[in-house]
Chains A and B, each alone.
Chain A
Amino acid sequence: MMTTRVIPCLLLKGRGLVKTIRFKKPQYVGDPINAVRIFNDKEVDELVILDISATMEGRRPDFKLIEDIASEAFMPFGYGGGIRSLDDVRTLFKLGVEKVIINSYAVENPSFIGEVANIVGGQSVVISIDVKKNMFGKYEMFSQSGQKKAALDIEAFVALMQDMGAGELLVTSMDRDGGMMGYDTALIKKIAKLLDIPLIACGGAGKTADFLPAVQAGASAVAAGSMFVFHGRQRAVLISYPDQKIMKKVFAV
């Protein structure tokens, strides 16, 4: 049987890992290479690393650091942050990255996604969207690490990305980020029903019991940050990942 993928989603700022709350207050949580080694030992299904400062600083991905991470990642490894050219994509694949994750540049230049899918195959192209509710309760899409509102209709954008050949959609709820109170299942439901490609839900997971509602809302995979790097009420930094036996129970309906 296929198992639902459970994906640690780690944020890079400079050369360190951070965890945010509602996309703000980045707190240092450790060294990325060390974290990847621990996630290897714990046999995580897949790993996502997003450089949240690359686009903001107007720079390309930190290829040296990504190479060091990839050489330790014996699981599927997706990278996002600052990807703006086919050369970036080719370099990332050569280093051992499995999937490229694109957010800001997909908003700026949607046809770029088609070009990327052509050279690496759609299964390796993940579009990331960051979504926040406005004060009227309407979902709005943001790019540039949540800094810039994208003047685009979410539904139209998602459909366009799928048409361009994107293979997966990573949907992050900015409101739920770091809150550890569960996923925004309404958001997942709203977007998943528009998609043929898999949706990865992110933002809000606090415990393994949060996973199933996201899957029932239409997510094909679940991602989480805080839950895998913090421990206890004091939010002490401790990397963890549920073992296979627990995971099987979690997803058994």
Chain B
Amino acid sequence: MIVVININLGNVGSILNMLKKIGVKACLSSRSEDIKKAEKMILPGVGSFDNALLNISELKLMDVINQKVLNDKTPILGICLGAQLMTRNSEEGSCPGFGWIDARTVRFNFDSNPFKLKVPHMGWNQVRQLKDSLLFRPSDEVEERRFYFVHSYHMICDNPADILTTSHYGFDFTSAFARENIYGVQFHPEKSHKYGMRLLQNFADL
């Protein structure tokens, strides 16, 4: 059973809708008993960095999630803000992130860019895979990998080996990372048609 961690933020309905569509068992919960039993976890997130972390603290889920990820090595997928929460910190807030990945989260800044790109980065963009991962499989049968993005902040990994994909918006930024059991994607697989369905299926099949 995949537990979608409910931190009272964001559009969790669409993640559950897509998991149901591909026939993956999942539940939405903010109870530590459920999280303890999870075979896999999804950390969703739309909203702000501090707000999310404060909610996690208030729900008293910090320890159980850390335990599951770092000790039990339970696979976890962070989506959008959920992925950013896995970094050390964010320019969006002052709370420390989980810090499982040596990375930081910064705001898109195009002040010195002649094209003054719009922020948030919103829409469909391609991802370029930099290393092998079970999240993207050769059997996926997609001619390209494209996903829906909507975000104003992006992640910078200290360790290039953690970068799973990059995408281009003004420059190449990390659009997914993977280290051991920890996966984070900046885009929204739950809103990305078959491309997202394949990715979530692959995560469920880990």
Give me the interface of A with B, judged by CB distance under 8 Å: 1-5, 40, 43, 45-46, 70-71, 73-77, 93-98, 120-121, 123-124, 167-168, 196-198, 220-221
Q: Using Cβ atoms and an 8 Å threshold, which residues of chain B touch A2?
A: 121, 123-125, 168-169
Query: Cβ of B73 < 8 Å from any Cβ of A?
Result: no
In angstroms, Cα B169 to Cα A1, docked, is 7
Known contacts: A74-B18, A75-B193, A95-B13. The answer to whether A121 contacts B148 by CB under 8 A is no
> Is B125 touching A94 in the complex (CB atoms < 8 A)?
no
B114-137 contacts to A, CB under 8 A, are 118, 120-126
Q: Using Cβ atoms and an 8 Å threshold, which residues of chain B touch A98?
A: 11, 14, 191
- Interface residues of chain A: helix, strand, loop or mixed (majority): loop
> Is B21 touching A74 in the complex (CB atoms < 8 A)?
yes
Q: Using Cβ atoms and an 8 Å threshold, which residues of chain B touch A4?
A: 123
Q: Closest approach, in angstroms, between the C-beta of A161 and any C-beta of chain B?
A: 16
Q: Which of B11, B12, B194 contacts A43 (CB 8 A)?
A: B194
Q: Using Cβ atoms and an 8 Å threshold, which residues of chain A touch B13?
A: 70, 93-97
Q: Using Cβ atoms and an 8 Å threshold, which residues of chain A touch B27?
A: none
Q: Closest approach, in angstroms, between the C-beta of B176 and any C-beta of chain A?
A: 17
Contacts between the two chains (Cβ within 8 Å), count: 88
Query: Cβ of B162 < 8 Å from any Cβ of A?
Result: no
Q: Using Cβ atoms and an 8 Å threshold, which residues of chain B touch A97?
A: 11, 13
Q: Using Cβ atoms and an 8 Å threshold, which residues of chain B touch A197?
A: 118
> Is B46 touching A221 in the complex (CB atoms < 8 A)?
no
Q: Using Cβ atoms and an 8 Å threshold, which residues of chain A touch B196?
A: 74
Give me the interface of B with A, judged by CB distance under 8 Å: 10-14, 17-18, 20-21, 46-48, 118, 120-126, 146, 148, 150-152, 168-169, 188, 190-194, 196-197
> Is B150 touching A1 in the complex (CB atoms < 8 A)?
no
> Is B17 touching A1 in the complex (CB atoms < 8 A)?
no
11 A-B contact pairs sorted by A residue (CB < 8 Å): A2-B123, A45-B123, A46-B148, A74-B21, A76-B188, A77-B14, A77-B191, A93-B13, A121-B46, A198-B122, A221-B123
Instruction: Name which residue of chain B comes closest to A122, CB basis.
Output: B120
> Is A74 touching B193 in the complex (CB atoms < 8 A)?
yes
In angstroms, Cα B12 to Cα A93, docked, is 8
Q: Closest approach, in angstroms, between the C-beta of B166 and any C-beta of chain A?
A: 13
Which 6 pairs of residues, A with B, have the shortest CB-CB distance?
A: A96-B13, A96-B14, A43-B193, A5-B123, A76-B191, A123-B120
In angstroms, Cα B196 to Cα A74, docked, is 9
